[in-house]
């Protein structure tokens, strides 16, 4: 697979990225790829899953550009991470049953990463698995969550702990959906694009550093997807190399869980942005990067993404949540840590004192 070239989008409104088993199309003018695909892959029935925001903002655009879907039943779930839980999953399964879905039905996940995660999960186990496609509507879902075959839901305050590896039949990224995406969710998605640059795409990182304003940029999204596909294809089941995608996520998931427990929501990308800064500091403590690289990364992430102030969270609480993380083994904290821009190691052992210093470093950026 070759990475899309800068500028491709000035000439083409449609780009295809082929992963081993499905096609990801990135479009900015129409939904031709989706319409062609639906004609070719006839399902016994098609159901659209969305949340209340994507139903209001994106469904009308979808049915206008893909009129064949205007009669499809719609399952609506509440927007937000708090709904990515077993109760919502049960409600989805009940509605799939009431719409008489069978093994040849198709579920279309129209939404951000919350909808693609729970929709993919529900489809992957309903009647032992029905087909699903993703129509991501947030930057985070376009650039990251809809690619890679991880699905899942949260259990209590533990994030993504119930899930499957299940690949969508196809992914259709349509950038005009982003027009209604609120700014904070845009920045949250951008965090995952910065992450892929840091772990596997030095030139993407350089490009991002130059970026000044919000750009609903198909070429940026396509580059991010292509880099992710390249990583995932080397290790689809997350046994080794793919873990580099977890950079920033060990601390990030712990922060999300702490917020969720407190009944507050911290956007995934914002948690990852904070996590990346802390873990960059840990990489420096472990001599994987020099001070100048740490300053470049944390300065860029801090100024571009405006991560949250976290002074109220004690390092000991963070450490407690870090131990719940799926990425650990044998009670040890195992992190993915960068050892340069565009390069990352996985399964680096970290201890609580590293995290405590990283938390101090993070807080010092807000003085």
337 token code pair: 């840590």
* 26, 47, 105, 111: residue in contact with ligand NAD (rule CB under 6 A): 111
Residues 160-199 binding ligand NAD (CB under 6 A) are: 160, 177-178, 180-181, 185, 188
CA distance 333 to 123: 33
* 131, 148, 201, 307: residue in contact with ligand NAD (rule CB under 6 A): 148
* 137, 257, 281, 354: residue in contact with ligand NAD (rule CB under 6 A): 137
Contact 249, 168 (CB under 8 A): no
| Minimum distance from residue 242 beta carbon to ligand NAD (Å) | 10
Residue with Cβ nearer ligand NAD (54 or 285): 54
In which element (H, E) is residue 124 found?
helix 113-125
Instruction: Pick the stretch among 69-77, 93-101, 143-151, 339-347 that binds ligand NAD (CB under 6 A).
Output: 143-151
Cβ neighbours of residue 316 closer than 8 Å, sequence gap 6 or more: 352, 356
Contact 92, 106 (CB under 8 A): no
How many CB atoms are located within 10 Å of the residue 54 CB?
29
Number of residues that bind ligand NAD (CB under 6 A): 31
* 113, 131, 168, 307: residue in contact with ligand NAD (rule CB under 6 A): 113
| Minimum distance from residue 200 beta carbon to ligand NAD (Å) | 15
155 is a site residue for ligand NAD (CB under 6 A): no
268 is a site residue for ligand NAD (CB under 6 A): yes
257 is a site residue for ligand NAD (CB under 6 A): no
Residues 194-233 binding ligand NAD (CB under 6 A) are: none
Q: Give strand ranges (E) for the chain.
A: 14-18, 23-27, 46-51, 74-77, 106-111, 131-136, 150-155, 158-165, 170-174, 333-340, 343-350
243 is a site residue for ligand NAD (CB under 6 A): no
136 token code pair: 């991501």
CA distance 214 to 187: 9
Contact 27, 175 (CB under 8 A): yes
Backbone torsion region of residue 202, taken as left when φ is above 0, otherwise alpha when ψ lies between -120 and 50, otherwise beta? alpha
* 141, 221, 244, 322: residue in contact with ligand NAD (rule CB under 6 A): 141
| Minimum distance from residue 189 beta carbon to ligand NAD (Å) | 6
318 is a site residue for ligand NAD (CB under 6 A): no
Q: Which residues bind ligand NAD (CB under 6 A)?
A: 51, 53-54, 57-58, 79-81, 84, 111-115, 117, 137-138, 140-141, 144-145, 148, 150, 160, 177-178, 180-181, 185, 188, 268
């Amino acid at each position: 697979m070759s990475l899309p070239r800068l500028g491709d989008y000035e000439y083409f409104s449609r780009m295809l990225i082929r992963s081993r088993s499905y096609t990801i199309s990135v479009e900015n003018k129409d939904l031709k790829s989706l319409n062609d695909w639906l004609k070719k892959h006839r399902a016994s029935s098609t159901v659209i899953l969305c949340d209340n925001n994507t139903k209001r903002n994106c469904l009308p655009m979808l049915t206008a550009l893909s009129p064949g879907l205007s009669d499809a039943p719609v399952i609506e779930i509440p927007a937000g991470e708090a709904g990515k839980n077993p109760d919502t999953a049960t409600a989805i399964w009940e509605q799939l049953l009431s719409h008489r879905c069978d093994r040849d039905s198709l579920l279309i996940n129209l939404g951000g990463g919350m909808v693609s995660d729970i929709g993919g999960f529900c489809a992957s186990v309903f009647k032992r698995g029905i087909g699903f496609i993703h129509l991501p509507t947030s930057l985070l879902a376009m650039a990251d969550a809809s690619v890679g075959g991880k699905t899942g839901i949260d259990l209590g305050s533990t994030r993504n702990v119930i899930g499957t590896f299940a690949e969508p039949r196809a992914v259709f990224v349509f950038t005009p959906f982003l027009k209604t995406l609120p700014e904070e969710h845009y920045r949250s998605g951008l965090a995952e694009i910065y992450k892929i640059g840091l772990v596997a795409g030095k030139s993407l990182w350089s490009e991002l550093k130059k970026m000044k304003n919000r750009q609903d940029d198909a070429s940026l999204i396509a580059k991010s997807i292509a880099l992710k596909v390249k990583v995932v294809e080397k290790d689809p089941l997350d046994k080794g190399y793919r873990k580099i995608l977890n950079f920033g996520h060990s601390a990030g998931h712990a922060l999300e869980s702490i917020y969720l427990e407190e009944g507050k929501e911290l956007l995934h990308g914002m948690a990852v942005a904070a996590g990346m800064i802390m873990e960059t500091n840990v990489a420096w403590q472990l001599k994987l990067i020099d001070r100048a690289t740490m300053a470049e990364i944390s300065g860029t992430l801090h100024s571009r993404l405006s991560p949250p102030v976290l002074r109220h969270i004690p390092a000991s609480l963070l450490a407690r949540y870090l131990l719940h993380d799926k990425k650990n083994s044998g009670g040890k904290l195992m992190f993915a840590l960068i050892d340069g821009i565009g390069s990352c190691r996985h399964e680096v052992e970290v201890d609580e004192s590293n995290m405590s210093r990283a938390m101090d470093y993070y807080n010092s950026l807000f003085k």
